[in-house]
Amino acid sequence: MTAQHTLTVAGVTVDTRHWIGGERVASADTFEDISPIDGSVLGEIARGTAKETDAAVAAAKAAFPAWAATSRAERARILHAIADGVEKRLEELAIVETTDNGALLRSHRRGVMPRVAHNFRFFADWLLNLDHEDFETRGHTNHVSWDPAGPSVLITPWNAPLMLATWKVAPALAAGNTVVLKPAEWSPLTASLLADIAAEAGLPAGVLNVVQGYGSEIGDALTSHPDVRRISFTGSVPTARRIAGSAAANLTPLSLELGGKSPLLVFADADLDLAVDLAVEQYDNAGQVCLAATRFLVEESVAEEFTRRFVEKAGQLTQGDPREAATDIGPNIHPRQLEKIDGFVRRAVEAGARAVIGGHRKDGQYYAPTLLTDVAQDSEIVQEEVFGPVLTLQTFTDEDEAVRLANDTRFGLAATVATRDPERAARVTERLVAGTVWVNCFFVRDLQAPFGGSRHSGVGREGGTWSFDFYCDLKNTVTAPNGWTNHG
């Protein structure tokens, strides 16, 4: 390994080449990886082309028959070994990812990286118990089985790079598929470390491949490839449209987890301190969370008091270096993202919105936590995903108006409801268009539960058996009664 093919982050060495067929592969060109913390260049990353994507798919195709034939027990053992490797290198993964994408180091240590290991353990264990009880049809026996589908392309985002990548990689591998992982170009480093960990855990060559580069340059080559049997993507609606069009020629099944513009509904009977805590939590990861409840819908009679308490609570947040233990909000990922966020806010203010707090850039790639009021329901700031620390507040007078406002976007990823009335909670949640609804809580996630969005927030569900349903070809075998009798 030569120095030009590695970079060092806080003493951790990361290979900057692709991982294809169990080997490191360089490219003729590279791209810069920049830390959002201070704008420094971390290093030059191999910039993939159709040549590398074709090689990665070929490697996945070649490795598929043997991996698909590997017993469930052995696949599960290797996934647990990968989890062991993640836990062994948890501190390294945490500091590398914080430096690469700017999320809080304490969050990576306490929650995100342990969740990465859990992703592998959960799907390894679920695989061993994956079953459907046989059933009878006019005396015939039906037996349902999950057959590995084949090489899978997984395209992952930059806001929680390793956790969201392994959310896809773990079930795909458990199902018996081989994988080509394409990490986001703004945060590629932990995907490279995952390749090392998987190889050390004994994952056969070609079962996991990692190709780095710009989606605009290699995305079509991956998603239109005739040997790819599954495509899973987390990201924006416009990119999903391109992927769907690219996959259409081969009728390649898609799983799409897309944007959100989720509401937080605060009713007058809510515990306002709890509601404010939930509201302030929406600034997590500098607002770069697809599930964030960015639209506050507050019952008119308590809106003034809610706003007062929110401003007080938000004012206690510390924004700064995400490596510091006292920091609550770090930087936004990239100068282009910061410009996008600022553009949304400037246009909203020009249209009549009022910034109760924030509304401006800070030094470097930091944007002040922002709350906008006096916003129209049909305005851009209410209808479009900002993906930054920018929240809006509107009021309502009754349940019908609250539900109407909550559902009045093209998205349907999540919703949060704050109320002390269980009957109201039941009525409202039944009417909300969302893949996940939280009542008096936020971001409680269990891999047993289905996860995904409605409308433009996605296609399909991930989690538990739903993940295996996607990554497999389901088969029903019907056997006749006394079918073994020789009638000759």
Residues labelled catalytic = 257, 290
Give 414's strand partners: 436
Residue among 266, 259, 195 at smallest CA distance from 452: 259
Q: Give the contacts of 344 (CB within 8 A, at least 6 positions apart).
A: 380, 381, 384, 386, 388, 390
How far apart CA 242 and CA 187 sit, in angstroms, is: 22
The secondary structure element, H or E, covering residue 347 is helix 335-350
CA-CA-CA-CA torsion for 461, 463, 465, 468, nearest 10 degrees?
80
Long-range pairs, 394-397, Cβ under 8 A, ≥24: 394/295, 394/296, 394/297, 394/298, 395/297, 395/298, 395/299, 395/300, 395/303, 396/297, 396/298, 396/299, 396/300, 397/299, 397/300
Query: Which tokens hold the place of 278?
Result: 């939930």
Residue among 69, 67, 61 at smallest CA distance from 21: 61
Q: Is 458 left (phi over 0), alpha (psi -120 to 50) or beta?
A: left
Specify the amino acid at residue 81. A
